[in-house]
Amino acid sequence: MEVGFLGLGIMGKAMSMNLLKNGFKVTVWNRTLSKCNELVAHGASIGKTPAEVINKCKVTIAMLSDPAAALSVVLDKDGVLEQICGGKGYIDMSTVDPETSCKINEAITSKGGQFLEAPVSGSKQPAETGQLVILAAGDKALYEAAIPAFDILGKKSFFLGQVGNGAKMKLVVNMIMGSMMNAFSEGLTLADRSGLNPRDLLDVLDLGAIANPMFKGKGPAMLQNNYSPAFPLKHQQKDMRLALALGDENSVPMPVAAASNEAFKKARSMGLGDMDFSAVFETLKVLKHSS
């Protein structure tokens, strides 16, 4: 099967590499074109613009940073819309808000193309090992056609109905994750400041009912101030912001998520946006001991 792939950041690079390694022919494009080189070394072809990739491939996947990037790649000059037409499918796996996804859907379908949103749960390592959870919604026929690719990229894919539902599900998941990361950071800090060894806290947590892969995976690195980015903090803050907007629309009070968003904003203001989202832990270290 041949696919196009737009966006070779942390996730897009791992996902497109995975498709290549599993026998797909892949044509890649990235805004910073030099990032295509590693994929080309593994057999990918390059498209010089998104439009060129769409022209070449029947199905194209995108994995872009945020709503502005997702819209720009579709609507701007040399974008997806210039070449999309009947018989071609576009699958956006970026995390965006439902409104952005609906706008892209309208643009693609108005030209006769098929559209599927398919954001993912899982980070860099699951992307590398094909263990993502895929949250698809939109064109059912395109979903069925994409299953061979989804089977390589993920351990499970869901079809959630109309466009917007995939985006909503993804925002709910990341809203919970962002709040958990803040509670975890506060717990590690409280353990340390009150005279406990935070490593003991990690062991205790891991044996109880709130054990989870995130605490287990990120905790030891956080205690070593290692925030090598798997999920960049600026994207987690974007997801909290978009989830809070979804809460506004639905009159759902979310005081915990709102406070977490403020902590991620604080971390961004400290220059930590490109670090892993666990770097929100650093916002607590600037606090002084009370006398």
Ligand X SMILES: NC(=O)c1ccc[n+]([C@@H]2O[C@H](COP(=O)([O-])OP(=O)(O)OC[C@H]3O[C@@H](n4cnc5c(N)ncnc54)[C@H](OP(=O)(O)O)[C@@H]3O)[C@@H](O)[C@H]2O)c1
Footprint of ligand X (CB under 6 A)? 7-12, 30-32, 35, 63-66, 68-69, 72-73, 94-95, 120, 123-124, 230-232, 235
**Which residues have a catalytic role annotated?**
170
Least separation, in Å, of the C-beta of 198 and ligand X? Answer: 24
* Position closest to ligand X via CB: 9
**Does residue 233 contact residue 154 with C-beta atoms inside 8 Å?**
no
> Toward ligand X, which CB reaches closer, 65 or 182?
65
> Toward ligand X, which CB reaches closer, 79 or 113?
79
CB 112: neighbour CB atoms within 10 A?
Answer: 11
Least separation, in Å, of the C-beta of 208 and ligand X? Answer: 26
Least separation, in Å, of the C-beta of 93 and ligand X? Answer: 7
The Cα–Cα gap between 225 and 191 comes to 16
Q: Where are the beta strands (DSSP E) in the chain?
A: 2-6, 25-29, 45-46, 59-62, 89-92, 114-117, 120-121, 132-138, 154-159
> Toward ligand X, which CB reaches closer, 50 or 201?
50
Least separation, in Å, of the C-beta of 38 and ligand X? Answer: 12
Q: Which residues, at least 6 apart from 285, have a Cβ–Cβ distance to it below 8 Å?
A: 189
Tokens encoding 289? 């001991």
> Toward ligand X, which CB reaches closer, 11 or 244?
11
The Cα–Cα gap between 106 and 128 comes to 32
